[in-house]
Structure 1
Amino acid sequence: MTQDLKALVLFPKEYFERYEVISRYGYDEYFLSQHDKNLKDTFESFVFCGKADSTLRVLAVGTSDDIEGTTVELYGRLNTGGMLFILLVTGAWEQMLLRMGNIVPESMSSKLGSATMRKMLQRRIPDVKMQTQYRKISFKFDEGFKENSEDGNMMLDFVLQVLDFRKTAPPEIVGDFMKFFKELCYEENGELYFPADDEIITVIKQ
């Protein structure tokens, strides 16, 4: 039963174990090598624009729970010209989370991706000013298709944000998601990669 599925984020030890696994397959290596440069370019283009005051203040860091109201509230607290930086998955990973969000309890689903966020901002904040930066990231995913691979099962858990997905999800749901994974992955040099692209959304208070 889908009610047996548990949100990975509620188990910090297991969450970081799975992040360590997925990092070994290229996600962390690529992410870190590009991350500093991409964020530097973003801040230089959006923040350092000739103003005397270029102070960056972090208001909050959160996940996707009650997120719509929180985002609008944070936007409301900005001074004119202030910026809200939002980093979310997009593309294939967002599609996967949306699919998972349709079968698990609302309280543990993680449906939020960049496309959903942009639509929400446009709906809740009239004439909202946004700038976006798309970043291509991927990691090897061959292990994810091996049923008896401990690493592969941990990779599935991290992408789907569900603890012990293969052990607790009904067989038909596991089969459906593995088929969908194959549709989203791409092959390079004989290895399968899962696109883990993300997008930085910068909202500017007018």
Structure 2
Amino acid sequence: MESSMKPLSSDYSYYLKTFKLFLERSTEHQCLQKFIDENLPDIVTRAYLNSSKCSGAAEQQLSRDRVGDAHNYPSAFSMLPEDHPLGTRRPAKFEPNVLGIGSGSGKIDFEILHKIQSKHPSLSIHDEVVEPNPEQISSYQARVKDESQGLNISSTWNQMSSEEYEKQVKERNESKKFDLIHMIQVLYYVQSVHDSIKFLHSLLESNGKLLIVYVSDGSGWHSLWKTFGSRFTSSSLFLEVRKLLDEMRMKYQIHELSSDLDITECFIEGNENGELLLDFLTEVMHFSKTAPAALKTEVLQYLRQPQCSREEDGKVIFNNTLQVIVIDC
């Protein structure tokens, strides 16, 4: 780390200001919404239809349940493949448990829950939330109150970090299991990526899924942080998750989500929004004012390079491509 630079994470209110601007200038939430709409239903359906909680009970009902009963359970059978082994049986009552790590204000988390519920309206969903910031917890609770009408969702709130949650589960010797666990843009901030993934993986129900969203290896983020991370306040955004998963011998699938970020204002000297975006990109508070002049020059020059951005209609568009990794139980 150079000069008197301070990590962006040292002031949460300021971080939130930069993050909100990032969302305004990027298509991140739009691409995540598209993934939720187009890919998530199949992932969740396969998880719960193959769950031991569902198939085990279905086996017990084999002798008395027929295809003719299926019309009483349209939500469960609507997405069953024709050759699925439960295709001629009625699935037992199933209440999926969902765990969100670093849920923030719940915007994306609640979209996930809403999509599951809309595809399977007969399900009762339990949502467990882990979020260290009290303001964000309050925002999420307000969102649930305002938007949960007609939804069958219950929630448990844990105002703590992922490490504190892990410690709590282990100290209480809790035997919690989840059908879906998701970490959306959180992995950069955990103390140990390996330990966090290992712990969360251990909480998966049979055939459950662990969904991790982070920046793609081919994104501008990866290139920027691989080049300059050691000269910022941390190197947290440079992760090699796939290599780690391969070493852990975990089975996973990858979905690439194309996303853009307009960083044109970063190149306008003294532009307030440009300075906030630079802070977000570098994870450094007041980067333009506290970074050594040489580092600032190098970063601005690098941000224009093809490995980070493209120029389009007079704008500089940063490659904000994401990866969704779906890890099997």
TM-score over 0.5 (shorter chain): yes
Query: Residue deviations 1:87-146, cap 9 Å, x none?
Result: 0012111221233322245xx332344xx11111111x22x1101111111122111112
- 8 Å CA contact retained: 2:3, 2:291: no
> Is 1:55 aligned to 2:96, yes or no?
yes
Give the equivalent residue in structure 2 for 1:109: 235
Give the equivalent residue in structure 2 for 1:20: 20
Higher relative contact order (CA 8 A, sep 6+): 1
In structure 1, give the amino acid aligned to 2:230.
Answer: N
Give the aligned CA root-mean-square deviation in angstroms. 2.1
Which is greater in Rg?
2
SS at match of 1:110: coil
SS at match of 2:299: helix
> Is 1:96 aligned to 2:224, yes or no?
yes
Q: Which has the larger displacement, 196-205 or 62-71?
A: 62-71
Query: Residue deviations 1:130-187, cap 9 Å, x none?
Result: 0111111112211111221111111111111111111111111111111110102111
> Is 1:179 aligned to 2:220, yes or no?
no
TM-score normalised by structure 2 residue count: 0.55
User: What is the deviation of 1:33?
Assistant: 3.2
1:1-206 matched pairs, under 5 angstroms:
2=2, 4-25=4-25, 27=26, 30-49=27-46, 50-51=49-50, 52=54, 53=94, 55-58=96-99, 60-61=101-102, 62-64=186-188, 65-66=190-191, 67-90=193-216, 91-104=219-232, 108-113=234-239, 116-123=240-247, 125-126=248-249, 128-183=250-305, 184-205=308-329
The structure that is helix-richer by fraction is 1
Identity %: 20
User: What is the deviation of 1:59?
Assistant: 5.7
User: What is the deviation of 1:21?
Assistant: 2.5
TM-score normalised by structure 1 residue count: 0.85
Structure 2 gaps, min length 5: 55-93, 103-185
SS at match of 1:81: strand
